[in-house]
Structure 1
Amino acid sequence: MRRIIGLMLRVAGPYRDRFVSSIRDSVIGSLAQAGAYACMLPILYELSRPQVDAAAAWRWFAVFAACYAVEAVFRCREIGFQYTEWAQVIESIRLRLGDRLRRMPLRELERRATGDLTTVVGGNAVNAALGVSAVALVFLQMVTVPVVLIVVFLAVDWRLGLTLAVVTPLAVPFVRRVQRISGRGFRRVDQADADAASRIVEYVQGLPVFKATGQVGESSVRLQRALHEQTRHQAESQTQAALPALYAAAAVQVGVVAVAAVGTALVLGADLTVPVLVAVVVGAVRFAEPLATATTLTAMFEITDAAVERVVEVLDTEPMEADPDARITRFDAEFDHVEFAYTDAPVLRGVSFTVAARSFTALVGPSGSGKTTVTKLLTRYADPDAGTVRIGGVDLRTVDPSEIYRHVSVVFQDVYLFDDTIRANIAMARPDATDAEVEAAARAANVHGFVERLPHGYDTRVGEIGGALSGGERQRISIARAILKDAPIVLLDEPTAALDTESEVAVQQAIDALVADRTVIVIAHRLSTVVGADQILVLADGRIIERGRHAELLAEGGRYARMWEAQTRARHWRVGAETARVGSDNGGSDG
């Protein structure tokens, strides 16, 4: 529990002082409650004497009432934190998680499954906040009251106190057993919940593919397996802890019976009065109640423990270091002997090149050659393992990613749109943009034409991930977003590669509007789109093997020239194949 409270203090964040204050209030309230129970003994003792001392009885009753008054005050303060600031604690946890995710290296972010992060920010954050607001306080009450009552019993008769002190620890091994089982079980359950959440996200996003392959409903093997594992772990964690919990509760009840038996023997031996025995038995029952509850609430402690652990794990992720004063004022770029690996396999090996401001650089090469990694490092997806990446002469290791993104627009081949209106998706680049500015960006990106045909125009919702729009329409919206942002550096990951001819023409026109008078780096699969580049970098196996303009590289007769020749032949082959098909359809063979 000390470890849990320590973690909770981390999770409480800006509410740490209030949490500590609520713990103090809980301890004082619990001591006052135990004091009130203890006052029952002298009250009953005074009332059971042959000559009742009314003044003494009233004095003890006054102490009894004062204890309850003190408890009420401190319980109100404790509950005030639990019920008025619990929602703020959840919000604070989620905001801090969001900030840490923002500053987390994207390499680390991609390592985590979507469902895993959803579970942390969703259910784990709630359970962690529950722990901050309630679990620790409940635990303190369950410990404080029995400890005080043991002291009182020792004061009344050492034999009663000793009986309770000896018998009660019999429950401890069983409680510890419940704790260990629940701890392991709920961590497995928590991981199973995260896995199931990931599979649900995967199922929803990939539903068209699953339908096409007949893997929907009960045939969805990956989802069904994850849900089965989730159910299995939940059932096992409950079943395995049931018997030890029952034994622990039984041990506590044995303690109550033992105190009643010793007390009865003392009454028969004239060492204790009947009213005091009644008070002792009532106190013993009150003593047993929180201990029995502790066994039941062990599962809650472990749920909280697992949740807090996962939240703290994210909060403890090493953020990207940055100089808050580092600023980018020029818009040239440089790679200086950069090396980078995702795992053990190197992706970039000693890559060096410069990109002049307001120039056009193309990256070409086979899949896996490191092209996309170059663009990711320029947005500080991660820091290079060796060498330096600079923008405007500034080492990106010193620059906050938000400062980089202020000056860089990125358009990827796979477009992600949010389930909102077209207007809202474009305006994400500049939330303060006016409707006129949004429309101007949309016109420049060839968006306005198809938007005019929609029933709700710019207020049309695009669906989840933009599913209500075609690929070309989604791509043009992403380019409109980049145009509205008006960043001086533009990174393009071949946004026309997966489009049909008509969409490609419209998107290419939008790109021409985007890249005008900017520093442009494009990953090119179709070499015809980069013929006019100021420099073309040919990558293979993580190295730059050729560099130069289009004509220069063709003259060298190397890798680029062979790629150009292959693509040229492929284009001619498609035309020839189409001509042959048409000729065959017309019944001719040599027109």
Structure 2
Amino acid sequence: MLTAAGPYAPQFRGTLRVSFAASLVQAAAYATFIPLLAELTREPVRTGRAWLWVGLLAALVAGEAALRVRETAFTYDYWHLVTQTTRLRLGAGLRSMPQQELARRAAGDLTSVVGNNATTAAAAISSLSTLFIQLITVPTVLGIVVLALDWRLGLVLVAGTLAALPLVRQVQRCSNTGYDEVNEADAALSDRIVEYVQGLPVLKATGQAGAGSPRLTAVLADQHHAQARANRSAALPVAGAQLIVQLALVALVAIGSALALDTRLSPALVVAVVVTAARFAEPLSLAATMTKLFELSEAALRRVDEVLAVQPLPIAPDGQEPATFDLRFENVTFAYDGQPEPTLEGVDFTIPERSLTALVGPSGSGKTTVTKLISRYADPQTGTVRLGGTDLRTLEPDEVLRHIAAVFQDVYLFDDTIRANIALARPDATDGEIEAAARAANVHDFVSRLPDGYGTRVGEIGSALSGGERQRISIARAILKDAPVILLDEPTAALDTESEVVVQQAIDRLVAGKTVVVIAHRLSTVVGADQILVLDDGRVTQRGTHADLLADTEGRYARMWAAQLAAREWHMGSTVRPGR
């Protein structure tokens, strides 16, 4: 909880101290019933003494109330700030998290952590923490008081508590495991809901939408079963712990009555001890019930802490700002986490500044991994990636990305205006600069025809626009950034012929005078590249110009070129019978 409280940890510590003091005062107030009842049953009653205890009781009750008011100040003054700060810290953690680690985590899982788990963690800090202190402190003090009055009655309470503790621990273990499963099920459901909403057109077309969608029913059932298991696993231990505490209270009454009848204890003292013991038993019974909430909060706090504990990529010393923007891979080997075989092995090449280099090869050959390492997605296990002679490991990932603009086949636009999506590259850009980038990317013409112009909202993931329009906006974003290094992942592959021509014109303006790395699936688009690197099974097997590589008729590139030429000649046969 102190970790989750973050910058408000000092205020949280102060609240815990106030809560502890309030609990001590509360226990002292309950303890005053013993001498008060003793005075009221005395013959004759010493009125002055009785009123003295009544006055002390009233003062203790008032003192506890004042302390509880101070205790709740944290809830009212800081709870929302802790929630906000926790989410901001999580956001900062996600921003500094290595891209490889970020890609490993499902969107729904992170949504659950930043949303539900952050709220639960803040609630635990503001409410459950003080309740926990109260549930521990009050029974402890009252147990000591009863032991001091009569060791036999005190031992009954101690024995009952010791007998209930294993069951409370069992509740903790069951709830701990159960709520971890519930959190995992909640995260899986969140992720599936995101997927369901984004893929709704496909699900409708295939008849998989609606209440019976198998994409949702399975995870909903898993969530239901996880919640049911978590509740069932703790039900019997909770009931058992409460029963033991109540039996201990009954045993205390029976033994106290026997001692009173045997004149070993006064009836007034027995009554006072029973009243005190009842206040002792109530928090213990409540603690058994509240254990599930404590474990739920602990599970949420663990998930928040897991995200905050992820370390950013280390920054090696002696880093220097790149003065030039050539790229160099020096004997680079890289394997993704959890994969036994490397995706790249012994890769070595140079990309000169202001040149165009194409990466070609079959799927899984390592082309995308090369661009990821250029962006410092992760660091290679061996070898070095350099930008302008500077080892990328000596630069902050944000500093590396400041020099890079990327345009990929799959465009992501935010549910905001066209202007805002272009300005992501430079939030301080003027409207004139945004429009200039839009004109260069062939965006301005179609935007001018929209009723709200640059203020038009693009919808979720740009759903209100066509594929070509989305791609041109992403290129405008890259043009506005004006980075010296451009990464392209075949941005025209999914476009129709008309859109491809317009987008290609925008790309030509984008890459002018830049260091360009393009992943090429259609070889015809990169015949004019300064160099082409052929990757196969994580290694660079060929390099050269288009003409150089075609000259090697037995090489992978020549075979790929021949296969794509043959594919152009393919056409759909006449498979429809007459009359159908």
Aligned residue runs from structure 1 range 120-131, under 5 A: 120-131=113-124
CA distance in 2, matches of 1:29, 1:206: 54
The corresponding residue for 1:473 is 469
The corresponding residue for 1:330 is 324
Q: Give the 3-state SS of the residue equivalent to 1:251 in structure 2.
A: helix
Q: Give the 3-state SS of the residue equivalent to 2:32 in structure 1.
A: helix
Which deviates more, 46-55 or 302-311?
Answer: 46-55
The corresponding residue for 2:184 is 191
- 1:132-154 CA-to-partner distances (Å, cap 9, x unmatched) read 22222211110110111011112
1:98 has 2:91 as partner: yes
| Contact 1:447 1:477 (C-alpha < 8 Å) held by counterparts | yes
| Contact 1:324 1:400 (C-alpha < 8 Å) held by counterparts | no
Which deviates more, 264-273 or 337-346?
Answer: 264-273
The corresponding residue for 1:151 is 144
TM-score (norm 2): 0.93
1:287 has 2:280 as partner: yes
- 1:228-270 CA-to-partner distances (Å, cap 9, x unmatched) read 1111121222123222212211111112222222332333334
CA distance in 2, matches of 1:429, 1:567: 36
- 1:198-247 CA-to-partner distances (Å, cap 9, x unmatched) read 21112112222222322222442232111111111212221232222122
- 1:386-444 CA-to-partner distances (Å, cap 9, x unmatched) read 10111122211222111111111111110011111111111111111122211111111
Aligned residue runs from structure 1 range 448-487, under 5 A: 448-487=444-483
| Contact 1:537 1:544 (C-alpha < 8 Å) held by counterparts | yes
CA distance in 2, matches of 1:398, 1:51: 87
Aligned residue runs from structure 1 range 2-21, under 5 A: 8-21=1-14
The corresponding residue for 2:577 is none
CA distance in 2, matches of 1:11, 1:344: 36
Which deviates more, 73-82 or 410-419?
Answer: 73-82
Aligned residue runs from structure 1 range 148-187, under 5 A: 148-187=141-180
The corresponding residue for 1:4 is none
| Contact 2:318 2:394 (C-alpha < 8 Å) held by counterparts | no
| Contact 2:417 2:458 (C-alpha < 8 Å) held by counterparts | yes
CA distance in 1, matches of 2:100, 2:524: 32
CA distance in 2, matches of 1:320, 1:204: 33
**1:319 Cα deviation (Å)?**
2.0
| Contact 2:357 2:517 (C-alpha < 8 Å) held by counterparts | yes
**1:478 Cα deviation (Å)?**
0.6
1:401 has 2:397 as partner: yes
| Contact 1:153 1:160 (C-alpha < 8 Å) held by counterparts | yes
The corresponding residue for 1:514 is 510
Aligned residue runs from structure 1 range 101-500, under 5 A: 101-322=94-315, 326=319, 327-342=321-336, 343-500=339-496
2:560 to 551, 558, 563: 563
Aligned residue runs from structure 1 range 66-81, under 5 A: 66-81=59-74
1:505 maps to a residue whose letter is V
CA distance in 1, matches of 2:509, 2:70: 62
Where does structure 2 lack aligned partners over 5 or more consecutive residues?
575-580
1:549 to 534, 545, 548: 545
CA distance in 2, matches of 1:54, 1:66: 18
1:539 to 535, 541, 546: 535
Where does structure 1 lack aligned partners over 5 or more consecutive residues?
1-7, 582-591
How many residue pairs are counted as aligned between the two chains? Answer: 570
CA distance in 2, matches of 1:526, 1:90: 49
**1:369 Cα deviation (Å)?**
1.2
- 1:274-314 CA-to-partner distances (Å, cap 9, x unmatched) read 44433322212211111111111111011112111212222
CA distance in 1, matches of 2:430, 2:270: 80
2:153 maps to a residue whose letter is L
Which deviates more, 16-25 or 446-455?
Answer: 16-25
1:361 maps to a residue whose letter is T
- 1:307-353 CA-to-partner distances (Å, cap 9, x unmatched) read 11212222222321125984334322111000112211221111111
CA distance in 2, matches of 1:65, 1:103: 55
**1:515 Cα deviation (Å)?**
0.9
CA distance in 2, matches of 1:449, 1:475: 14
Q: Give the 3-state SS of the residue equivalent to 1:362 in structure 2.
A: strand
**1:541 Cα deviation (Å)?**
1.2
**1:271 Cα deviation (Å)?**
4.0
- 1:524-550 CA-to-partner distances (Å, cap 9, x unmatched) read 122222222222111111111111222
CA distance in 1, matches of 2:53, 2:211: 69
| Contact 1:323 1:400 (C-alpha < 8 Å) held by counterparts | no
**1:59 Cα deviation (Å)?**
4.2
2:335 maps to a residue whose letter is A
Which deviates more, 529-538 or 560-569?
Answer: 560-569
**1:52 Cα deviation (Å)?**
4.1
1:88 has 2:81 as partner: yes
**1:72 Cα deviation (Å)?**
2.9
CA distance in 1, matches of 2:169, 2:522: 65
2:181 maps to a residue whose letter is R
Identical aligned residues as a percent: 61
Q: Cα gap change, 1:324/1:402 in structure 2, threshold over 3 Å: closer, same or farther?
A: farther
| Contact 2:39 2:45 (C-alpha < 8 Å) held by counterparts | yes
2:328 maps to a residue whose letter is E
- 1:532-588 CA-to-partner distances (Å, cap 9, x unmatched) read 2222111111111111222322333333233333333444x26xx59x99xxxxxxx
CA distance in 1, matches of 2:102, 2:334: 17
**1:62 Cα deviation (Å)?**
4.4
- 1:170-196 CA-to-partner distances (Å, cap 9, x unmatched) read 222322222222222211111111111
CA distance in 2, matches of 1:69, 1:392: 72
Q: Give the 3-state SS of the residue equivalent to 1:380 in structure 2.
A: coil
CA distance in 2, matches of 1:221, 1:361: 45
CA distance in 2, matches of 1:245, 1:27: 26
1:34 has 2:27 as partner: yes
| Contact 2:37 2:272 (C-alpha < 8 Å) held by counterparts | yes
**1:19 Cα deviation (Å)?**
2.1
| Two-structure CA RMSD over aligned residues (Å) | 2.1
